Structure 1
């Protein structure tokens, strides 16, 4: 099946590009996921990398004019996030992926956010082999579907497009985890938002301490389990490595 990988993006500056988005491109460059393109759908970022690194095109530009393997598709304005449950910038970028998929004639949309990392061949094989449905993983910490990694197959494209067309205002009553029409939630894969799982920090448990450099050190956070299949909301200080030795 012909597939694309995409993430949503908002690039504040050169450091943000290098530590998050370039890192994402590099990580998935040799990942054995069957996909023809890696695309960032951008919410009006103030910073864009050089065309020598990756080409950026307007969201309305015909993709038939661009054969790039890696591409940023950019909206002019930034919609951003207004509250914990109101984030029109993400919704616009996410929903635009159905337009891209239809224009490119692909059979599968693979959504992997720019801070999400797949770690094992068994999850890669699952992504490659699935041929129908709308699939997500599971966050044990929050006990809800993990929307940072999704696989949307062609039989769900009409449902996806209907969701987009029915919400032109990008105003949704709840968070995506509770609204997207998944057909399957897979709890057999181990992973979570490990950057949010803290060790006992005694009197320093408050989130206000998270921004202090010393509290970003691994000592204060639960380690990523050796048998984890994926990580979401990964931080720049965390190390991620695809377990290729298990490919046999």
Structure 2
């Protein structure tokens, strides 16, 4: 069934990905997993579309899937559709930065399909990409105009695996993909989209390119690992997997992971540590206490903090929205209200982080700032 919020108005949303499968296992693995992530998540849509680059195997036998030729036929009235090309373009060898020609054709077709079907919004979530947090779902659901993408810290360019194209920007999308493919060979295509907005405040990256797990504080993951031997625990955010609802040990015995404390530190660091009262007024004493529990640990001071300040393995960009800090801590650490009250009652504080910032000589050196987007984008943070 489609997911539509009546409070958001009459806009119709098409959510799509591109597809190509060399064997049936890819349908039951990668694409079924993607579909479950969409259906179990909170993104709003009226129809899900897969645009297939003429896969050599039969389409998946999914309940409710309607298969149509990618020939400009009207969009069917169905919740789940696959449009299949009768020729395969795939990837072509050549110089420059050009990406898959098959992907390029499929994306352009999705825009044409949306316009012909009367859709007002296009949400693109690539098949190896997942939206992990409720705050990112809310952000994407509220985009009603413009061409929005996220940010890829690893490469320092907009993350095109997650996009929302709405209103008049659908015309811009049609014009963009209507150009000759060769026009885009001079630079990475991620740098050439006419994006109007970049959501830089969300934590995420193409983690599959350089690590074997997905941080628990991430809002999204792009280019997630996809091979038969990958353990199901990798997809901890999917409810059907064993780690979807993990049983937490008692709070006293739980040690914060490197990912937890790294993100907590960066979130705190993005405020003014010399004015703790101002911070406390904005986020509340309870949140200051929760952060204090993390940063006061020996693990954080002796192991994690030096690595953070050396820029080792952490690409986190602290959120600029103070009202998301509490939600992040409660979500990542799974602290109940009772556990939070117990932390506050314990009397621990965040004074340690202020002392560290006043005396940076306790660590080797400060990390260099992370790459930030430039150009004509409107940043949402």
TM-score exceeds 0.5: yes
Query: Residues 121, 127 of structure 1: CA spacing in aligned structure 2 closer, same or farther, 3 A cutoff?
Result: same
Between 108-117 and 31-40, report the one with greater CA deviation. Answer: 31-40
Q: CA deviation at 1:63?
A: 2.8
Equivalent residue for 2:340?
Answer: none
Distance across 2 between alignment mates of 1:176 and 1:55? 31
Structure 2 residue aligned with 1:172, among 149, 170, 184?
184
Classify 1:239/1:156 alpha carbon distance in 2 versus 1 (closer, same or farther; 3 Å).
same
> Aligned pair 1:145/2:158, yes or no?
yes
Higher relative contact order (CA 8 A, sep 6+): 1
Q: Is residue 116–residue 148 contact of structure 1 (8 Å, CA) maintained in 2?
A: yes
Q: Deviations over 1:143-198 (max 9, x none)?
A: 1111000010112012112123332x566323320221111121100001111114
- The answer to whether the aligner puts 1:232 opposite 2:222 as a matched pair is yes
Secondary structure of 2:184 counterpart: coil
C-alpha separation in 2, matches of 1:10 and 1:156: 27
- 1:40-59 aligned within 5 A: 40-47=50-57, 48-50=59-61, 52=63, 54-59=65-70
The SS at the match of 2:168 is helix
Q: Which residue does 2:346 correspond to in 1?
A: none
How many residue pairs were aligned? 221
How many Å apart are 1:29 and its aligned residue?
Answer: 1.2
SS at structure 2 position matched to 1:63: coil
1:33 touches 1:124 (CA, 8 Å); kept in 2? yes
Residue 136 to residue 32, structure 1, CA distance change in 2 (3 Å): same
Q: CA 1:129/1:46 → structure 2, altered by over 3 Å: closer, same or farther?
A: same
Give 1 or 2: higher strand fraction.
1
Q: 1:69 to 1:241 in 2, by over 3 A?
A: same
For structure 2, the 5+ residue unaligned runs are 1-10, 239-243, 246-329, 332-381
Q: Which runs of 5+ in 1 are unaligned?
A: 199-220
1:192 aligns with 2:205: yes
Equivalent pair of 2:123/2:163 in contact (CA under 8 Å): yes
- The change in CA–CA distance for 1:225 and 1:51 in structure 2 (over 3 A counts) is closer
Bigger-Rg structure (1/2)? 2
Query: Residues 118-143 of structure 1: CA distance to partner in whole angstroms, max 9, x if unpaired?
Result: 00010000011111110111111111
TM-score in terms of structure 1 length: 0.82
Residue 51 of structure 1, CA deviation: 6.3
Question: Which residue does the alignment assign to 1:32?
Answer: 42
